[in-house]
Amino acid sequence: MSANLLIPHTRASLAKPPTIVGYAAFRDKNDVLEWHQPVDRWQLLIVAHSGVVSFNGRVVPYGPRAALVLPPRARVRLDRSGFPGYEHIFSWFTLEEGAEDVVALPVVADITPVFDSWETHWSRAFDRVQFTRRAVQAWVWDSLWYVAAGVERIRTNLYVEEAERIVQERLGDKIGILELANELEISHSQLVRLFRAEHGMTIQEYIRVQRAVAAVRLLTTTTKPIKAIAAQVGVPDLQQFSRLVRNATGASPRHLRTERKTFEAHTTLVTEPGVRAEVSKPASKS
């Protein structure tokens, strides 16, 4: 399988504030750090440098001013270069398991817009730790909510995640399922089974949904000719393209563009599971 740069996420509940176990700011000169996360502890690591984090075998690059959210039991390695010293702000904490406010916490998140304010808030919280840990707790909780994503970002299988990336990159091309499986170095039947287990739909259905989503986005946010959009999303036959869009949104491509129903169209595609099964299959594409 080719290198996968998609950022992994971990499921967690943020219904209750984290319990702070440890916290510090430190500077070191080692280009490489390796460790295993304790079985019950998360770590929030704020870094000013860039580098690469290896997380349970996944390799993810990060830029300067990033937040690393590392879950329990993870094997972690940081490879850093280009800096005379590496400054970190970190906190160890635990999260209570629950079914409410469940989110996906990314291993790496860009926090450039808030980096300076976070440093200020951390400094103030650290100044108060001799009296109370609640300021640090509030800072960590707020930081986790800032980087959190929807649970749909969590992937249970790396082959499926890689297949999704390939589909997005080649949406305008003919996508053969057998060729896709060969590229991932797994069998056709295994890929089909894994994809259905992850998404509850076939790969062909997933491709049609993604083509419909891309079509709606291009129709409502650009002035490209409809014929060009149809070709770009892999459905060059205008009749098939019209059926794809109509079945997904209830409107023709021309009407959708005229009315600019961006929110309604995207909401329909994303939130109504039944729509996915109704998207028509283009005759000329897999």
Give the model's confidence band at 283: pLDDT under 50 very low, under 70 low, under 90 confident, else very high.
Answer: very low
Looking up residue 245, the CATH number of its domain turns out to be 1.10.10.60
* Whole-number pLDDT of residue 17: 96
pLDDT value at residue 233: 93
Whether 145 and 165 share a structural domain: no
Same structural domain, 162 and 92: no
Q: Which two tokens stand for residue 234?
A: 């892999």
Render pLDDT for 49-63 as a digit per residue (tens, 0 to 9). 888 888 776 778 888
How much is the average pLDDT of 97-126?
Answer: 90
Kindly report which listed range (89-93, 94-98, 104-108, 155-159) carries the lowest average pLDDT score: 155-159
pLDDT of residue 169: 87
Per the model's pLDDT, the better-predicted residue between 30 and 34 turns out to be 34
Q: Say what the pTM is.
A: 0.58
Tell me, what's the pLDDT at 42? 97
CA distance 28 to 84: 9
Distance, in Å, from the CA atom of 229 to the CA atom of 211, rounded to the nearest integer, reads 10
| pLDDT number for residue 214 | 87
Encoding tokens for residue 202? 């076939």
pLDDT at 84: 58
Among 105, 138, 153, which residue terminates a domain?
A: 153
**H runs (alpha helix) in the chain:** 115-127, 134-147, 158-169, 177-184, 188-199, 203-221, 226-232, 238-249, 253-259, 262-271, 273-278
Token code pair at residue 180:
């896709």
Average pLDDT of the chain, as a whole number: 82
User: What's the pLDDT score for residue 57?
Assistant: 67
Task: Kindly report the number of other CB atoms within 10 A of residue 169's CB atom.
Answer: 9
pLDDT value of position 277? 33
> Who has greater pLDDT, 240 or 25?
240
Nearest to 77 by CA among 104, 63, 91, 57: 57
Give residue-wise pLDDT tens across range 251-264: 899 888 876 544 34
* Whether residue 105 sits in one domain with residue 20: yes
Residues 52, 173 within the same domain: no
Position 83 scores a pLDDT of 64
| Same structural domain, 19 and 108 | yes
Residue 272 has pLDDT above 80, yes or no: no
For residue 235, what pLDDT band results from cuts at 50, 70 and 90? very high
Is there a single domain that holds both residue 212 and residue 140?
A: no
In this predicted structure, what is the pLDDT of residue 49?
A: 85
At which of 106, 131, 153 does a domain end? 153
Q: Give Dmax over CA atoms of the chain in angstroms.
A: 70
What is the predicted pLDDT for the residue at 157? 75
Specify the number of domains making up the chain: 2
Please check whether residue 31 lies inside any domain of the structure: yes
Q: Is the pLDDT of residue 5 over 70?
A: no
Q: Which residue has the tokens 């890689």?
A: 162
- Say yes or no to pLDDT of 276 above 90: no
| Structure-token match 């999260």, residue found | 95
Instruction: Return the minimum-mean-pLDDT range out of 77-81, 202-206, 212-216, 262-266.
Output: 262-266
Is the model more confident about 149 or about 130?
Answer: 149
Choose one of 124, 153, 182: the last residue of a domain. Answer: 153
Mean pLDDT over 260-276 rounds to: 40
Residue 138 and residue 175 in one domain: no
Cα 285 to Cα 62, 173, 199, 240, distances in angstroms: 37, 8, 21, 10
Q: Which helix (H) or strand (E) holds 75?
A: strand 75-80
Phi then psi for 283, rounded to 5 degrees?
A: -70, -25
Judge if 146 and 199 occupy the same domain.
Answer: no
Q: Could you give the 3-state DSSP secondary structure of residue 42?
A: strand
CA dist., res. 164 & res. 152, Å (int) = 13
